[in-house]
Each structure stands twice: as structure tokens, then as C-alpha cells.
Amino acid sequence: MTGDDMPFRNLKDLLAAMAIVDPSREYYAITMTVDESGKCFIDTQTHWAGWSDADRLTEVRVPSIVKPEAMIRYWEIVEQPYVVVNDESQWFVYFQIGGNALVEKAIAETYLARTFRTMQSEPTIQIAGPGSGFVALDLLPKHTTQRAPTPRLRMEVFKRDNRRCRICGSCPANNVHVELHVHHIRPWERGGHTHIENLITLCHTCHRGLDPHEDTSLFELLPRLKLGQDHAAGVLRYRERLKAKLAEFEAPQKRTKRNITRQGKRC
């Protein structure tokens, strides 16, 4: 075995170890991605810790210890890769690749202490919809907590739904008498926020005849989220952003080294 073989073998062994769950340890489920706007997200499973407003529309949630086998089963179902982080060396590998990870309790509470404190102090809301969860208010558009959709949001809903009623398929392009409405699937009065995952396009006839008015089966008529593809794109953006940040950090150091070299040559 040559000296060149050793680093590869160590890396291979390290990655193999990052697939092993230690049954004697506790874990948080962590996901690190970057969205299309360039905002970095660090997500984790949470549990209810109280209400943050008198109307009980926003909650305070705190990070939860998870059952590793349940999280692994979910990630495999949605075809998302994951790693297991049991020590600091594995944490630094995970920090560079992002995505899903089961992170050992002490490691997570050490390196994500600030993130966890923020989660515990900021109210969140549940965005109604398939696959949706709890999101911090400061990460959402202001219109989310306003009853009426903004004109821009209305057009986003219409575009997503191909400007057709999701129930009957009526379209103004085929019938000038068709009037399209944007409907809250979970009603505003019952905590249904003004978010695209809780909004659906209905024609005036279907909207008027909707009975009961709160019909959560309408969620099934929305386009299915491509969880695996969306996750992969978010992880790729995370790695590209980290690479760019490292390049920004290294650039001044390279310039300094070049200047020192030039000065040495002049001397």
C-alpha cells in the first residue's frame, strides 16, 4: 500500500461509518439546503411548545429527538439520501455536503446551538398542504398572514393551475363567462394561511357550490410535489454556495501570498 492510498482509504472508511446508527445514542434529524432565492435553510423535526398569540394561529416549537429508523424509512420512501453523524469529523464532512442527516444529540446541540435557540424563540405557523410543515414567520412572505392574496400571488396560483378550475376544468379561454376564484382550502377562520400550498383555483360555479366549504380533499387536486427532485436541487445549491463562500475566503489569502512572493523577488 502506498502513501497515496491512505487518504482514500480513510475517506472511504469515514463515509462507511456515516451510515451507521448507534442504538445507544440519541439523534436529531437535520436537513441543510439552499432555496431558489439563495436563502439557506436548516430544518429539523420539532414539537409543540406553546402558542405565541391569543388567536392560536402561531406556535412555538422546539427541536425534537427522533426515532432513527422512522426517519431513515421516510427518506428512503421519498428517495432522498442521508448520512449519520456521530462525531466531529463526521460533522465537518456533513457540513460540506449538506442534505439530510441524523446528527448525534451532543454534536447537534454544540454546532447548531444558535439555530436551536432561534427556533425556540421565534413563532412558527403550519402551512397547510401536502408535505408541508412548520415554518418560521420571518422566512415567509408577509402576505402569508394576510387574508386576501396579493395580485402577484393570485397570478402564481392561476399559473400553477393552468388557469383552470381544479374541480371541473373550466377555463376562461374556452368560455368567456367563466370567472376564476382563488380559494383557501383550509379556511382562513380555521388557521388556513394565505400560502400557495393552501390555495387552489376554482371557477365561480364550483366555488359557490362547494359543500362543505372546508374540504381538505381538495389538497389532492394540487400538483404533486416532487420531493426527491426539489431536495436534490436544494442540496446542489447548498454545495455551490459553500464552494463560492470558500472561494471568497481564499481569494484575499492568495493575493497576499502573491504580493509577498513579488516583494521577495524584488528584494
- Indicate the range of 15-29, 153-167, 233-247 predicted with least confidence: 233-247
Q: How confident is the model at residue 136 (pLDDT cuts 50, 70, 90)?
A: low
Per-residue model confidence (pLDDT) at position 50: 81
Per-residue model confidence (pLDDT) at position 2: 40
Number of Cβ within a 10 Å radius of residue 143: 15
pTM for the full predicted model: 0.63
Q: How confident is the model at residue 252 (pLDDT cuts 50, 70, 90)?
A: low
Q: How confident is the model at residue 47 (pLDDT cuts 50, 70, 90)?
A: confident
Span 240-259, mean pLDDT? Answer: 73
* Sequential DSSP letters for 123-157: -EEE--STT--EEEGGGS-GGGGSSSPPHHHHHHH
Write the burial class of residue 104 (CB in 10 Å: 0-12 exposed, 13-18 middle, 19+ buried).
buried
